[in-house]
Amino acid sequence: MGPTEIPSQSAETIKIPTAHYEFGANFIDPNLMLIGRVLTDGRLNARLKWDLSDNFTVKANAQLSNEPHMSHGMFNFDYKGKDFRSQFQMGNGALFGASYIQSITQHLSLGGEVFWAGQHRKSGIGYAARYETDKMVM
């Protein structure tokens, strides 16, 4: 990047800076967090995290642009149980996902996730194992 040179009828060169600046605002509360940024090119980035209860959290993330097909949004719904965690995701472009992890023993947890990206006709599945002791996590 750098300054843009503007043609002039005189011998002088006019240079205009092309740096991007942003304006941001934050709101942070024990149960709610809102973060927003507006850039000079018109893009908006926004994030939300809302703890509806000790166990249930909603998250949202958005990038909005005036360029066609360049805006994105995603919602996450997280639930924390006594010995498990689950999450459901949905986003634009028909994106859906879910994950779940369960404590099997004091040291071993097993889980998995699935996703489907409808716009691209892609899907996936994954499995996970976690072993934890006082001295290591594997």
The CA-based angle 106-100-71, given to 5 degrees, is 140
Q: Above pLDDT 70, what percent of the chain?
A: 95
Given pLDDT bands bounded at 50, 70 and 90, which one contains residue 55? very high
Task: Inform me whether the pLDDT recorded for 2 exceeds 70.
Answer: no
pLDDT of residue 3: 67
Q: Dihedral (C-alpha) 48, 49, 52, 54: value to the nearest 10 degrees?
A: 180
Spans of all domains in the chain: 1-74, 81-138
Q: From the DSSP assignment, how many helices (H) and strands (E) are in the chain?
A: 0, 11
pLDDT of residue 116: 96
Closest CA to 107 of 134, 86, 88: 134
